[in-house]
Amino acid sequence: MRTIDIFDTTLRDGEQSAGVNLNTVEKIEVAKQLERLGVDVIEAGFPAASKGDFDAVKRIGETVKNISVTGLARASIRDIDAVWESLKTTAEPRLHVFIATSPIHMTHKLKMTPDQVIEKAVETVKYAKKLFPVVQWSAEDAGRTDLNFLVKIMERVIEAGASVINLPDTVGYMTPQKYGEMFRFVRENVPNIDGVKLSAHCHDDLGMATANSLAAIENGADQIEGTINGIGERAGNAALEEVAVALRIREDFYGASTRLKLDEIKKTSALVSKLTGMRVPANKAVVGNNAFAHESGIHQDGMLKEKTTYEIITPELIGVNSTRLVLGKHSGRHAFKNKALELGFDLNEEKLKEAFDTFKDLADKKKEIVDDDLFSILTNKQTEIGEGTGFNLERMQVQYGMDNIPTATIELRDENGDLKQLASTGSGSVEAIYNTIESMLPSPSKLLDYKINSVGGGRDALAEVYVRLEYDGDNTSGRGTAQDVLEASARAYLNAVNRLLQQKATMKEKVAVKAGV
Ligand SMILES: CC(=O)SCCNC(=O)CCNC(=O)[C@H](O)C(C)(C)COP(=O)(O)OP(=O)(O)OC[C@H]1O[C@@H](n2cnc3c(N)ncnc32)[C@H](O)[C@@H]1OP(=O)(O)O
Ligand SMILES: CC(C)C(=O)C(=O)O
Ligand SMILES: [Mg+2]
């Protein structure tokens, strides 16, 4: 049985999803869960892209100890240096450097001739190899690259020191047969390919990312790149959970496996979905809420007689807990702590106590507390912004009537502890709330996107609101959870503003430290 390496790019290509913006604390939580899931490599970001990305990659490298962490770089010395500076103290610093090789990209985007692209690729890989023990080189848009050119450039970058070569289907154009043939072709034609790992990186524009990744494995790929829940640029990347479960369920056919602890999949999927605000569709393979639901009579009859009639994956395989009611208002701290650990949260005593208090408050209002509720409370606690940052919602009252103008009265406490109160109207309750908050904030802000999900099921389910906004000229996003949709809406707005203020404060502090102030 071959073992396939799993290269997770949720925090790099996944974060390139439109509207997704994770802060460093959230990225670290995802990285820790990816470590528990057992991925082999985490691509933590693109350090040259921004100070925030640089810091996140550095902090993840310092936090995650048992797996390799990498950062992405263009074929540019400045980008490579940024990855090195962010990862140089980690156990196995790894670089991922790329340049496009398709005629379309070379001509129109890079404005370089094929020979110039080879020269640039070789020069940068040689430079990188002096710093990094492992250099992964990617031929961006390999899927639309001339195969003979691909062979030529691969031979040269391997000579220069690349030991992992990735052949991305950057625009999701490939079919399984064509993508598989490309891997077979380079295996058979690149003269110095022995000992080099081949990696597949698929996008889902035509809905074939998982099938293409599996075809690459059939044809000699040693590593699969993808993201949790398949999030990513445009239609997303290959969903790692789909690839790993397909290999397990069809072991007979693929004869390959991964090192993933499959029973951590559901938890990882839920965390990524919650933090990114990208809800997993109910019918999504492996991790969708309906993936194990049997609705029709004939199917239910079959399931009752023999589960294998309609179930090829068991919920337990991916860590779905069939006992849904877990804790109630009579539960104590020990059971709560145990449950938190079982759900993968290792909070300090203070945060645990605060989470327990929130749980007790909720248990007073809600009939059943399910894992989803606890997961939401614990994730919010784990990733919350520190005290004293930005604005706190102290009180809110909303008046709504079909024949009245909706009015929101809000009391906010700012970071100096001062209380402010204001009332405004709007065409609906949420607009009234947002008009009031916007009038109370010191800088101009504008709502760009609003999404609402329910956590778990039932009429008393928690509401989770995601917003994207522009505040003081910068884009930011936030989420808020509450039993009431209006309170969740207000909290999400303030969370977005507070996240931005905290990010700016951290940057300012760093600049001051650097300047020795
Ligand atoms: C397929 C992928 O997923 S690729 C990864 C995509 N991820 C990102 O882009 C991360 C976020 N990006 C950023 O923050 C910015 O784009 C930066 C910091 C990387 C670059 O910003 P800018 O310097 O302002 O350049 P901008 O983004 O406008 O254009 C990209 C430039 O990089 C060049 N470029 C693109 N890919 C490569 C490459 N692999 N190697 C070298 N140069 C490259 C382009 O040709 C263009 O160069 P030009 O300015 O000479 O025309
Ligand atoms: C940077 C590369 C690997 C990429 O994300 C792509 O080509 O899709
Ligand atoms: Mg990609």
Nearest-angstrom CA–CA distance, 138 and 468: 33
H/E stretch holding 196 reads none
**Tens-place pLDDT, residues 397-412:** 999 999 999 999 999 9
Q: What share of the chain is helix, strand, coil (3-state, %, to 5)?
A: 45, 20, 35
- Please give the backbone phi and psi of residue 41, each rounded to the nearest 5 degrees, phi first: -135, 140
Q: Which token pair is 91?
A: 């156990």
- Around ligand 2, the residues with Cβ closer than 6 Å are 13, 72, 98, 138, 140, 166, 168, 170, 201, 203
User: Are the C-beta atoms of residues 26 and 55 closer than 8 Å to each other?
Assistant: no
pLDDT (tens digit per residue) in 145-198: 999 999 999 999 999 999 999 999 999 999 999 999 999 999 999 999 999 999
13 is in an annotated binding site: yes
ipTM of this predicted structure: 0.98
Distance from the alpha carbon of residue 200 to the mean position of ligand 1, in angstroms: 22
Find out whether 107 and 67 touch, Cβ atoms under 8 Å: no
Q: How far is the CA of 109 from the centre of ligand 2 (A)?
A: 15
For ligand 3, an ion, list residues with CB under 5 A. Answer: 13
Structure tokens, 394: 């102290």
Give me ligand 1 centre to Cα 76, in Å: 10
Average pLDDT across each block of 10 residues of the chain; the chain has 517 residues. List them in order: 97 94 94 97 98 96 95 98 97 95 98 98 98 98 98 98 98 98 98 98 98 98 98 97 98 98 97 95 94 86 90 94 68 88 89 94 86 91 78 96 95 93 97 97 96 86 95 95 96 96 81 67
